[in-house]
């Protein structure tokens, strides 16, 4: 059994803030665009920043568990529910983007190295590389 406690990522929060800041700077420096349109664009970028900030605070995946039968569960706001890992997920050595399907919703979990313990992250990547892919080949109809 593999159980991960997923923490907030200061690195991801910093990257999102930096990208919004760069977008605001680039918009303000675009002198070929009329000022009214630039100000509107800055307002939209700031609205996006607020939305991202609230979205992270409102809906947070607290944990991920894979049991001995390779069934996946996620804790959303500390309530556990079964989930399927969809085929459009991405796993690299430093970044995991898991697209998780529950009965009612699709959740997207972005995991950077500062969110989970190193050993647990390594075990999850190994499971995703070797066990999950085999399960997909055996049960292609389970993944939407």
* Cβ atoms 100, 109 nearer than 8 A: yes
Read off the pLDDT band of 21 (50, 70, 90).
very high
Query: pLDDT tens, 58-78?
Result: 557 889 999 988 899 999 888
Tell if the pTM clears 0.85, that is, is over it: no
* Cβ atoms 93, 125 nearer than 8 A: yes
Assign residue 34 a region (left: φ > 0; alpha: ψ between -120 and 50; beta: otherwise). beta
66: enclosing H helix or E strand: strand 61-66
Report the distance separating Cα 140 and Cα 53, nearest Å.
Answer: 36
Report the distance separating Cα 112 and Cα 88, nearest Å.
Answer: 18
Q: How far is CA 20 from CA 15, 51, 114, 131, 135, in A?
A: 9, 12, 21, 38, 39
Side-chain-side CA neighbours of 15 within 13 Å: the count stands at 8
The residues, any chain, with a CB within 8 Å of residue 6's CB and separated by 6 or more, are 61, 62, 63, 64, 109, 111, 115, 116
Would you give the distance in Å from CA 17 to the centre of its chain?
16
Query: pLDDT tens, 29-62?
Result: 998 999 999 999 999 999 999 988 877 665 578 8
Domain boundaries, the chain: 2-7+60-142, 10-57
What mean pLDDT, rounded, does the chain reach?
Answer: 85
């Amino acid at each position: 059994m593999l159980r991960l406690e997923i923490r907030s990522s200061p690195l991801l929060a910093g990257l999102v803030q930096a990208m919004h800041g760069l977008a605001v700077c680039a918009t303000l420096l675009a002198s070929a665009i009329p000022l009214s349109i630039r100000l509107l664009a800055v307002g939209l970028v700031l609205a996006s920043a607020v939305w991202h900030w609230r979205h992270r605070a409102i809906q947070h995946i607290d944990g991920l568990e894979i049991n001995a039968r390779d069934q996946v569960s996620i804790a959303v706001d500390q309530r556990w529910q079964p989930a399927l890992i969809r085929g459009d997920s991405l796993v690299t050595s430093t970044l995991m983007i898991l697209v998780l399907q529950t009965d009612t919703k699709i959740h997207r979990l972005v995991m950077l190295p500062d969110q989970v313990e190193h050993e647990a992250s390594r075990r999850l990547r190994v499971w995703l590389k070797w066990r999950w892919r085999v399960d997909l080949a055996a049960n292609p109809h389970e993944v939407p």
